[in-house]
Amino acid sequence: MSVPKDLRYTKTHEWIRREGDVAVLGITHYAQDQLGEVVYVELPDAGTRAAPGEELGTLESVKAVSELFSPVGGEVIAVNERLTDAPHLVNDDPFGEGWLVKIKISEEPELLDAAAYEKLVAEESQ
Amino acid sequence: MRRRPLRNERLIFEHNRERRARGRYELPPLDVPAVDAGSVLPEEQVREPLADLPDLGELDVVQHFHRLSQMNFAVDEGLYPLGSCTMKYNPRVNEVAARLGGFTALHPLQPASQVQGALRVMWELDQVLKTITGMDGVTLQPAAGAHGELAGMLMIRKALEARGEHREEVLIPDSAHGTNPASATFAGFEAVEIASGPDGTVDMEALDRMMTDRVAGIMLTVPNTLGVFEPRIVEIAELVHGRGGLVYMDGANLNAFLGKALPGAMGADALHINLHKTFSTPHGGGGPGAGAVAVSRGLVPHLPVPRVIRDGDAFEILWDDPASIGPMRGFYANFLILVRALTYIWGLGAEGLAETAEVAVLYANLVRHRLTSAYHLEYDAPSLHEVVFDDAFQRAHGVTNVDISKRLLDYGFHPPTMSFPLIVHGALMIEPTESPAPEEVEAFCEAMLAIAREAEESPELLHEAPHETPVRRVDEVEAARHPTLRWEPSEKS
């Protein structure tokens, strides 16, 4: 199961990639696999304030509805509009075209590195 | 294998295209002057062109809907082990009672003096539900379980306000019914999740830590959605009460301990009772439902209005009560559902109700015993009325709970509840209820065992299931991603 080394992770299976003072946020390959085929993605509007650990949106699959938690604090500056018509991108390319939102970071708690996240997934999969 | 209709049924609009009606109904000639709609209605209310309504004969219509009904799977057809839904048999005597002219010919605005019998039915049901739950007051108003949850949470809110307290949070275990957090939120609270301990019951240390003075109370499903009884329920209630909170109990699974244990004695302050589950009134498309709520003494003043009250030998309707949360809906309740529930309760009596719970628990444990070798059990605490397996053994062969459920249709059984509770990955939640004959439960177990063997030997058979139904595997993902919500003619006729 793929866990890119250059990203950081949460225990709730989100990832972020730093681009300057902006965090690109998505859910991991493991998360999309657990969720099953995503059929609907509800994301916040640009301008929304995000706080670490707080709910930022929901992802809906045929099986379940799952919450998206913000790994960082800050302001949502962009959302992936393509997901409205193509929610399957979250499954097809969770670390790339299936990104969810971009947040201008004002608060950044300590997150897991790839090795720590891999360990977490290994524990959960048992 | 049971008989199933062999072909799919076209939409009623599609019948229309090919064969103009035999024996169609003709409207009588107009006996008033014809008026052009455009001359008397606002423009936006005039339809142009006219709707192309189906043009069929009476027999065509009857056969269409009859065939559709045969494509359905019903409790009357066989075992319907849809976990957490208590799909028990709806005795026909309930229908006889509900069709009595004295009930069906009533008008909701008739004066109380003319509907004493109907009011007595409500009052009697009120009394018997208090006895069954060991609680102090009952409302029959809510139209469904979740509506009952909302009524209960609004009463809790009102009681706290009456004490001059403002508490924002409600604690809800992750094994609770999915409607619980929604009801708490709708009542203005913030739902906070408590994780289950390793045995699937509430983690007391977490509860102790989280039960602060910001917390209005806890919503607890007993037994929970794993079919596991909360052994520390009294302790939980004492802790919550001791810190000024109230206990909402989700009674959706009341069938598990009917006549055996009293929610009142467990410390519940509000409890909804799904009359359409536990007390055998039709549901699952056949509703309407009824979610009566029983409450403890402290919440009685806040019960919704209207309420039926007894004055000597006469029954009256109380329309207004200053401390009440007010009406939960128009008029009184889904009245004929109440008639059915009372018929069922009186028909069985106290001993019969207790036996209901015994057989429901016995059957769930029979299924558990028979299937444990073939299906994985994530939580192995003792089962009450339902048992939650999952697809962990079958996933090794690429077979999921969806495949297993679809294959069950070929064996002539309704599938269990799938993928719920969420704390069990690939869940298969089985609730046989007390209704089926033992042979039917055994036949279901045999089918599940056969499917487990098929999963190992020929997984593709399961991936493609169902094979015997008029509609084969539907594409749920495509349906959810690109729903077609309105039929349109493919070509103009």
State the ipTM, two decimals: 0.71
CA dihedral (B426, B220, B124, B351) in degrees, to 10, reads 70
pLDDT band at B493 (very low <50, low <70, confident <90, very high): very low
Three-class secondary structure assignment of B154-222: HHHHHHHHHCCCCCCEEEEECCCCCHHHHHHHHCCCEEEEECECCCCCECHHHHHHHCCCCEEEEEEEC
pLDDT of residue B55: 79
Q: Report pLDDT for A1.
A: 67
Contact (CB<8Å) A64/B477: no
Question: What is the least distance, in Å, from the CA of B139 to any CA of chain A?
Answer: 32
Say if residues B332 and B122 touch (Cβ distance below 8 Å). yes
Is pLDDT at B424 greater than 60 in this prediction?
Answer: yes
Does pLDDT of B21 surpass 80?
A: no
CATH 3.40.640.10 boundaries in chain B: 93-348
Residues of chain A contacting B427 with CB distance shorter than 8 Å:
none
Looking at CATH, the fold of the domain delimited by B93-348 is given as Aspartate Aminotransferase; domain 2 (3.40.640)
Which residues on adjacent β-strands are paired with residue A38?
A: A61
Interface test with A, best of B476, B478, B482 (most A CBs within 10 A): B476
Q: Calculate how close chain A gets to B206, using CA atoms only, in Å.
A: 19
Instruction: Give the residue-averaged pLDDT of B424-440.
Output: 96
pLDDT at residue B359, as a whole number: 98
| Per-residue pLDDT tens over the stretch B226-235 | 888 999 999 9
Q: Is the pLDDT of residue B433 over 80?
A: yes
pLDDT on residue A57:
94
Angle made by CA atoms B194, A66, B466, in degrees to the nearest 5 = 115
**Which residues of chain B are within 8 Å of residue A40 when distances are taken between CB atoms?**
480-481
Nearest to B422 among A39, A62, A64 (CB): A64
> What is the pLDDT at residue B20?
59
Query: Which pLDDT belongs to residue B285?
Result: 65
Task: Measure B27 CA to nearest chain A CA, in Å.
Answer: 46
Lowest mean pLDDT among B149-153, B266-270, B463-467, B479-483: B479-483
Percent of chain A exceeding pLDDT 70 equals: 98
Residue B476 CB-density burial (10 A; 0-12 exposed, 13-18 middle, 19+ buried): middle
| Mean pLDDT for all residues in chain A | 93
Can you tell me the mean pLDDT for A2-21? 94
Provide, as residue numbers in chain A, all residues whose Cβ is less than 8 Å from the Cβ of B418: 63
CB contact under 8 A, A39 and B425: no
Any CB–CB contact under 8 A between B476 and chain A? yes
Domain annotation for chain A: domains and CATH numbers: 9-108 (2.40.50.100)
Predicted local confidence at residue B3, as pLDDT: 53
Just give the CATH number of B349-478: 3.90.1150.10
Q: Does A87 touch chain B (CB under 8 A)?
A: yes
Residue B310 pLDDT > 50, yes or no? yes
Using pLDDT thresholds of 50, 70 and 90, give the confidence band for residue B18: low
pLDDT tens-digit map of B153-187 = 999 999 999 999 999 999 999 888 889 999 999 99
What is the C-alpha to C-alpha distance for residues B472 and A100, in angstroms, rounded to an integer?
35
B425 touches chain A (CB under 8 A): yes
Q: φ and ψ at B459, to 5 degrees?
A: -55, -30
Mean pLDDT computed over B247-266 = 96
Query: What's the pLDDT band for B51 if we cut at 50, 70, 90?
Result: confident
Which residues on chain B are in Cβ contact (under 8 Å) with A39?
Answer: 477, 480-481
Is pLDDT at B6 greater than 70 in this prediction? no
Summarised one tens digit per residue, pLDDT across range A65-112 is 889 999 999 999 999 999 999 999 999 999 999 999 999 999 999 999
Give how far B422 is from chain A: nearest CA, Å: 8
Residue B483 has a pLDDT of: 86
- pLDDT of B1: 46
B32 vs A: CB within 8 A: no
Residue that the structure tokens 């028979």 belong to: B370
* B253 pLDDT higher than 60: yes
Taking 80 as the threshold, does the pLDDT of residue B355 lie above it?
yes
For residue B482, the chain A residues in CB contact (below 8 A) are none
From the list A34, A39, A64, the residue facing B477 with the nearest CB is: A39
The amino acid that residue B280 corresponds to is S
Q: Average pLDDT, whole number, for chain B?
A: 92
Cβ <8 Å between B481 and A63? no
Q: Which of A62, A69, A82 to mutate to test the interface with B (most CBs of B within 10 A)?
A: A62
Is residue B123 pLDDT above 90, yes or no? yes
Please indicate whether, in this complex, the C-beta atoms of B477 and A62 are within 8 angstroms of each other: yes
So what's the pLDDT on residue A41?
A: 95
